[in-house]
Chain A
Amino acid sequence: VNNLGYGATLASFGSFSALYFVSYEKMKYWTRQYLAVSPEEESYVDVPFPMVVFSSASAGALASWVTSPLDMAKLRLQVQRGNLAENPGQATPMYRGVVDCLQLTYREGGMKGLFRGAGARVLHFTPAITITMTFYETCRTFLAKSMNAG
């Protein structure tokens, strides 16, 4: 039961990241494709700032919503681990792992149960990843330019 700290976190974070970057890069590519005069120019077109924001926000919303059940399972397992450590011998674990937690939650609360907190997760992740990515892209471009100039 204790063995799930890393696995659960990676299952939730990893699938979020993979999904996020696939959609984010795809949307940026579509923008470049649309703006490019010829196919050869596609990789040289700069994606306009509003489109970076839009791509990041929609990719973040999608990825965080889809992976929300995994994130909930991860949180419940983490809380459970803390409980077990505080009361050794008194409590038996409710969940055996990520899959077990998802199954039990589905049985008790259906899809609504699985997506508990999903709205809040989307509300958090969409601005979080959008601010991170746009700040990151802007900062690195700025720093790279000033370093090359200096």
Chain B
Amino acid sequence: MGGGQNNEAYSMMIPNALGSATAGIVSRLFTHPLDTAKARLQAVYNDAPSTTSKTGYTKTRNPYRGPLDVLVQTARTEGLAGLYRGFGAVIVGGTPGTVLYLCSYELAKDRLTEEWESRTHLQLEQSGGDFFVHFASGMIAESICCVLYVPVDVVKERMQVQRVTDQNLYKSSWGALKHISRTEGMSGIYRGTQLCLSSIELLLSYAPLLLLTGRSPPSHLLL
């Protein structure tokens, strides 16, 4: 399991990156309106009267019958633009996010598979390692690309639901990002639990190392 496999993994880096970028854009173009429908349904409440509760909090009553109804109502009152709110953030920030996501997934999968097979001397699936490897690779990929996905997601979801929850604060994705970073601070977006951050730091400090050296990591870090 030495150099040969490594070279193969690294020669796939560019195809992987270009492929995932194209894939991310094409997919979003078609499916963003459905994402808007999802966000709006999640933001409202079935049982709540649309008033400010005693905690000073506004609950918005559900004006929709279902996902399709969201699409129809939004298109009718806000036009096509209404269905594509937050799209700017997704394309600008989400595309590199998807590249980072799929590339780190492939890299993590290759590394973990190699490590697992060299230890068990069995093919991954035959020794039942596939569950662990794919589960962990998905988690690792997500924790790396969340650096880009988290701000994108915050901007996107706020843009998508603001008409429903009656806070028309943001005009554009870029304006929303500026507004949020001014009122809440960019650090506010990124602040996480200690555990979460330390695991991300570990992975982040480790990923470039993997890319640069192409060496197998010390096994205690991965298993």
Contact of B30 among A9, A21, A120, A127 (CB under 8 A): A127
A124 pairs with B42, CB closer than 8 A: no
Interface SS, A side:
helix
Q: Mark A129-150, 1 if CB is under 8 A from B, else 0.
A: 1011111111111111001000
Q: Which residue of A lies closest to B54 (CB)?
A: A92
Q: Which residue of B lies closest to A6 (CB)?
A: B192
Q: Mark B15-41, 1 if CB is under 8 A from A, else 0.
A: 110111011101110110011011101
Q: Size class of A's contact patch? A: 35 or more
A135 pairs with B19, CB closer than 8 A: yes
**A10 to B199 alpha-carbon distance, docked (Å):** 12
**A123 to B34 alpha-carbon distance, docked (Å):** 7
Q: Is A103 an interface residue (CB 8 A)?
A: no
Contact of B57 among A81, A94, A116 (CB under 8 A): A94
Distance in Å: Cβ of B101 to nearest Cβ of chain A: 8
- For the complex with contacts A3-B193, A123-B34, 16 further pairs of A-B residues with Cβ separation under 8 Å are A3-B191, A6-B150, A10-B142, A22-B138, A76-B42, A78-B157, A79-B43, A92-B56, A119-B67, A120-B67, A127-B27, A132-B27, A136-B20, A136-B22, A138-B19, A140-B15
Residue positions of A touching B, CB distance < 8 A: 2-7, 9-10, 13-14, 16-22, 24-26, 29, 33, 42-43, 71-72, 74-76, 78-83, 85-87, 90-94, 108-109, 112-113, 116-117, 119-121, 123-124, 127-129, 131-144, 147
Residue positions of B touching A, CB distance < 8 A: 11-12, 14-16, 18-20, 22-24, 26-28, 30-31, 34-35, 37-39, 41-43, 45-47, 53, 55-58, 66-67, 70, 98, 101-102, 105, 123, 125, 130-131, 134-139, 141-143, 146, 149-150, 153-154, 157-158, 161, 165, 167, 169, 180, 183-184, 188-193, 196-197
